[in-house]
Amino acid sequence: MSTGLLFRDDAYLKSASARVVAISERGIELDCTIFYPQGGGQVGDSGALLRANGERIAIVDTRKGEALDSVVHIPAPGATLPQVGEALTLEIDWERRYALMRLHTALHVMSCVVVAPVTGGNISPDKGRLDFDIEMSLLDGERIERETNALIARAVDTETVWITDAELDARPELIKTMSVQPPRGAGRVRLLRIPGIDLQPCGGTHVGNIAEIGGIRVLRIRSEGKRNKRIEIALTGKAN
Ligand SMILES: [Zn+2]
């Protein structure tokens, strides 16, 4: 059964109310959620589900379920499980998620500084990376850092745009990431637009203004194979 994905419309929700619709070996499914399930290179959220009696069910990870848009909340080993139909209060680990949002959005910006097909990527709370199909000699860490930070300093608001599958098919240049095809079948595809900088399909969570990224530094650049040159970045300082 599909889950209402509240983070899609508002990535800044730190808590919400939901009802349990299923419990399985994999975890807990709710009628709606603020927990982002691992996908598109972004790790799943952690946090807690609070019962009416004050009991706290720790959630250690979030994954996609089998049905389209279904989400499975994975409880800590040994946690008490709620009842189907029970109303819960959801709380995500906001500090961790906000770091993920800042890093994720930073990778969108960096993908416009390094002009090459993206072959992979990953975002964890302390660092993010993108892999590019490019010659090693074309990658200069200082330049990437300087130009990415210069774009971040433009402090523009990000926008979510929806287009139809057919519109996306007509604009294949929008798809930079060869390893992650945007999800199809729902009839529409979600894009992240950073005006004047980037436009690409993405279902992840982003900051509302790129100034919130603060700044980035390049941790390292290394070859992971002929078509994979990996650039790893971290955030510098606090969100603006
Ligand atoms: Zn994104």
What is the whole-number distance in angstroms between the Cα of residue 222 and the centre of ligand 1? 23
Q: What is the pLDDT of residue 67?
A: 87
Condensed to tens digits (0 to 9), the pLDDT of residues 1-14 reads: 788 999 999 999 99
Measure 46 CA to ligand 1 centroid, in angstroms.
Answer: 19
Give, in order, the Cα–Cα distances in Å from 171 to each of 40, 131, 174, 191: 20, 22, 6, 12
Determine the pLDDT at residue 215.
Answer: 97
CA of 190 to the centre of ligand 1 (A): 10
Whether the per-residue pLDDT at 80 is higher than 80: the answer is yes
Q: What is the mean pLDDT of residues 75-80?
A: 94
pLDDT tens-place string over residues 173-208: 777 665 556 556 668 888 999 999 999 888 899 999
Q: Is 11 helix (H, G, I), strand (E, B) or coil?
A: coil
Determine the distance separating the centroid of ligand 1 and the alpha carbon of 51, expressed in angstroms.
32
Ligand 1 centroid–CA 29 distance in Å is 24
What confidence tens digit (pLDDT) does each residue in 20-65 have? 999 999 999 999 999 999 998 999 999 999 999 999 999 999 999 9
Ligand 1 centroid to residue 200 C-alpha, Å: 8
| pLDDT(213) > 90 | yes
